[in-house]
Structure 1
Amino acid sequence: MSTNGAWRIRRAEPDEAGELEGLQDRSSAHWGYPPGFFDWAGEARAIPDAYVRNNPVFVLEEDGKRLGFYGFTEEDGDLLLDKLFVDADEIGKGYGKLLWQHAIQTARELGRSEFIVGSDPNAAPFYAAMGAVQYATKPTAEPSWTLHMFRYTLSS
């Protein structure tokens, strides 16, 4: 767990899954997506208890309020930063960078030298600013929305 002043980053608990899913939805609303826009994504946006229990998922909180979270999964042998969300009211305050830095530390602790990020098009500039390199885009079931794929190599 990391702490600094009033905020801290800690491992998420499975019983928080529903609250994290709500935070993810609020964060996405920041970009102007209408309600139901991501219905095409099916279960990809769901955060069940098992997701939190079985993966490294960390929550950033301040005074008991969840400000953001991230989660890693494995896909085809790669470590994937599957989720990194900051609550809509907190975007632009540096919390995303705190979560990103913690994610780098977590990847190191997992013995990894790199990880992959599948990014919302609106968040792509954030990942580029954090030093991740975009290597592809992937179409989705929604023709107006493309997944931006980044790779981040951990420095020695």
Structure 2
Amino acid sequence: MKVRPAQRSEAGELTELAMASKAHWGYDEAFLASCREELTLHPADIGRHRTTVVEEDGRVLGFTTLEGAPPRGALGMMFVAPDVIGRGIGRVLFEHTATEARRLGFVRLTIDADPNAEAFYLTMGAVRIGATPSGSIPGRVLPLLEVGLTSR
């Protein structure tokens, strides 16, 4: 398994991975269609959002984005391919992103978590600090989490 910066040419592949990962939770087609714009990565987003991938044998298994400017930022996107969920890819991505954020001077990251992923983030040390409106579905709220980076 290799962790590396994403390449601009991978934007479409990462968008499709995000959509497949979101679909893993059983959301219907209408819901997924509503999320597509928010889950779409464009080539220009790759560097600006500090996009990192985990790959194995040339296949991208998951990715994260680290957004904002120190000292406070956001774990903007984190998705793992459905067929490798449970193999520790999420942990590798999360820990790598937290380490990189710390190196860049971030002290806190917020996470607008899918409700199905909240337990994972809590296990990784995040705490729930409230709720935030979905960027895709009017009236839907998401768990708002925060992870401190100074004590790791």
Q: Could you state the TM-score of these two structures normalised by the residue count of structure 1?
A: 0.88
Q: Provide the rounded CA distance (Å) in 2 between the counterparts of 1:117 and 1:15.
A: 26
What is the SS of the residue equivalent to 1:122? helix
Find the counterpart in structure 1 of residue 100 from structure 2.
Answer: 106
- Quick one: which of 126, 148, 152 aligns to 1:153? 148
Q: How many pairs are equivalent?
A: 148
- Quick one: which of 87, 95, 110 aligns to 1:93? 87
**Going by fraction, where is helix more abundant, 1 or 2?**
2
Equivalent position amino acid for 1:146 in 2: V
Q: Provide the rounded CA distance (Å) in 1 between the counterparts of 2:147 and 2:28.
A: 31
1:110-141 deviations in Å (ceiling 9; x for gaps):
11111111100100010001110110112333
- Quick one: which of 126, 137, 143 aligns to 1:132? 126
What is the SS of the residue equivalent to 2:111? strand
Q: Please, what is the CA RMSD of the aligned residues?
A: 1.7
The answer to whether structure 1 residue 50 and structure 2 residue 44 are counterparts is yes
**CA positional deviation for 1:42:** 6.0
Percent identical pairs in the alignment equals: 36
What is the SS of the residue equivalent to 1:36? helix
Equivalent position amino acid for 1:95 in 2: I
List gaps (5 residues or longer) in structure 2: none
Structure 1 41/89 Cα, relative in aligned 2: closer, same or farther at 3 Å? closer
Equivalent position amino acid for 1:13 in 2: Q
Runs of 4+ in 1 over 4 A off after TM superposition: none
1:79-133 deviations in Å (ceiling 9; x for gaps):
1100011000011111101111101111112111111111001000100011101
Q: Provide the rounded CA distance (Å) in 1 between the counterparts of 2:72 and 2:53.
A: 22
Equivalent position amino acid for 2:124 in 1: M
What is the SS of the residue equivalent to 1:116? strand
- The aligned runs of 1:8-23 (5 Å cut-off) are 8-23=2-17
Q: Could you state the TM-score of these two structures normalised by the residue count of structure 2?
A: 0.90
- The aligned runs of 1:65-84 (5 Å cut-off) are 65-74=59-68, 78-84=72-78
The answer to whether structure 1 residue 35 and structure 2 residue 29 are counterparts is yes
Find the counterpart in structure 2 of residue 3 from structure 1.
Answer: none
Work out whether residues 68 and 86 of structure 1, in 8 Å CA contact, stay in contact via their aligned partners in 2: yes
Work out whether residues 40 and 142 of structure 1, in 8 Å CA contact, stay in contact via their aligned partners in 2: no
**CA positional deviation for 1:33:** 1.0
